[in-house]
Amino acid sequence: MTASQQRDDRPHQSSTDISATGMNQAPTSLLSLTVAPAQVLRGYHALEQSGEAIARLGHRPLVVGGEHTLASLTSQLQRVLKKQQLQLSFASYSPDCSETSLTALREATANHQANLILGIGGGKALDTAKLLAHQCKLPVVTIPTSAATCAAWTALSNIYSDEGAFLYDVSLDRCPDLLILDYSLIHTAPQRTLVAGIGDALAKWYEASVSSGSSTVTLIIAAVQQARVLRDILFQKSADALKEPGSEVWQEVVDATVLLAGVIGGLGGAQCRTVAAHAVHNGLTHIRSAHDALHGEKVAYGILVQLRLEEMLQGNQLAASARQQLLKFYAEIGLPQSLEDLGLGNITLAELRGAAEIACKPGSDIHRLPFEVVPEQLMAAMISTTTPVEKSRSQLDVTVAVK
């Protein structure tokens, strides 16, 4: 629903009614909702059947993806789109979803006289395609090739340096015009990408409940509750899904990570933001050796760090038991529990401090926690994500004494 529709739907009132109900107050800032893609096509071989839907959006698409994805999917795309007589051009987003790539891609868009952007690949490819379309004011189609994030759904792009360090995010004016969720493509992705997607999707609950758990805003209440439903679906179905890739339960978990996680971001909007789990991820992207770990793997570890902070700094016993519950779940499905599991067992103290300082920068989402966090406390949490609960109390005393 657009903002103008919302205004039209209000009951009409006479001017006396308006003053009586206080509606002659200054107008509040206009809320723009970006809840969902205009159309979602979902199923096995969905891409094969999407030619017409793509052609409705534009006849000169620029296809944006990673080099590997473009090499393996070009012939399939050409087959689908040739039937519609579309003029295709292909461009890689290499080296990353960065300002440099976007400059080159804007040029490629102009050279091809593209009137549609088609993003295909993982989260970074889709984030690049969405932001490119936003900058060029063109429609965009997203085709995820893994279930590792909800980037195919959301009106948000993360920008990285050419070296892959997280820099900032950009809110887009709308969700994609068309999302094609083709299970046959997702099925060919390494299993690890779905595991990472589960980690990223789980964060919705742990972060939204902290940033927005006491909100009285209708749509934010709805988003937080959906985040809990999402968590429960993942707890119940993930292990079975990973045992039977391609099965019905596997499709349900793919829908949870790609679609339902996106719904929550869309409903909750900017106010229902990420907290410490993503801030820890953002800090870790500045360590070169962390680049082999996937976004959702770093975020999953970040959830444990966030819970650890709540335990250590607030004495929050609920956070302590939530962490134990997650450690068990992570062990079952193969999500990282510690820096060692992320391949960061040998990083230097300076690297750890650097990541913690970035995560604690002013304006970082970590400051949405209801208490203050300084880099020393974050470092202590980062190295103790697997600490048994019994020891937590004495560790808290040590931390406080060190402070």
CA distance 345 to 21: 62
Q: Which two tokens stand for residue 306?
A: 């966030």
Query: Among residues 200 and 365, whose Cβ is nearest to Zn ion?
Result: 200
Q: By three-state DSSP, how is residue 12 classified?
A: coil
In whole angstroms, how close is the CB of 123 to Zn ion at the nearest point? 8
Q: For residues 61 and 327, what is the distance between their CA atoms, to the nearest angstrom?
A: 45
Residues 85, 78: Cα–Cα separation, whole Å: 10
Q: Which of residues 96, 127, 182, 200 is near Zn ion by CB under 5 A?
A: 200
Q: Compute the distance between CA of residue 115 and CA of residue 48 in angstroms, rounded to an integer.
A: 21
Of residues 127 and 200, the one with the C-beta less far from Zn ion: 200
Answer yes or no: are the C-beta atoms of 263 and 40 closer than 8 Å: no
C-beta closer to Zn ion: residue 297 or 311:
297
**What single-letter amino acid sits at 370?**
P
- Position of tokens 């292909």? 90
Separation of alpha carbons 98 and 169, rounded Å:
11
Given the rule CB under 5 A, which of 50-58, 95-103, 199-207, 234-242 is the region that contacts Zn ion? 199-207
Kindly state the number of chain residues that form the binding site for Zn ion, as judged by CB under 5 A: 1
**In the complex, what is the shortest distance from the CB of residue 278 to Zn ion, in angstroms, rounded to a whole number?**
6
Please report how close the Cβ of residue 204 comes to Zn ion at its closest, in angstroms.
9
Cβ nearer to Zn ion, comparing 70 with 303: 303
Residues 150-189, mask of contacts with Zn ion (x by CB under 5 A): ----------------------------------------
Q: Which is nearer to Zn ion, 61 or 200 (CB)?
A: 200
Q: How far is the CB of 210 from Zn ion (least distance, A)?
A: 15
Indicate the residue among 50 and 145 with the shorter CB distance to Zn ion. Answer: 145
Would you state the structure tokens that stand for residue 50, as one six-digit string? 């999407």
Beta strands in 288-368 (DSSP E): none
Residue pointed to by tokens 């944006």:
64
Least distance (Å) between residue 274 CB and Zn ion: 7
Alpha-carbon dihedral 287, 170, 234, 146, rounded to 10 degrees: -80
CB of 12 to Zn ion, least distance (A): 43
Q: How far is the CB of 151 from Zn ion (least distance, A)?
A: 8
Q: Does 207 bind Zn ion (CB under 5 A)?
A: no
- Residue 297 binds Zn ion, judged by CB under 5 A: no
Q: List the one residue out of 346, 356, 221, 204 whose CA is nearest residue 286.
A: 356
**β pairing state of 156-160 and 166-171:** antiparallel
Nearer to Zn ion by Cβ, of 281 and 308: the residue is 281
Question: CB 344: neighbour CB atoms within 10 A?
Answer: 22
Q: Which of the ranges 10-18, 140-148, 200-208, 350-358 carries the binding residues for Zn ion, by CB under 5 A? A: 200-208
Instruction: Note whether 127 binds Zn ion by CB under 5 A.
Output: no
Minimal CB distance residue for Zn ion: 200
Tokens read off for 396: 């808290």
Q: Which residue carries 């980037």 as its tokens? A: 151
Stretch binding Zn ion (CB under 5 A), from 57-65, 192-200, 315-323, 384-392: 192-200
Give yes or no for residue 365 binding Zn ion (CB under 5 A). no
Smallest separation (angstroms) from Zn ion to the CB of 283:
14
Contacts with Zn ion by CB under 5 A lie at 200
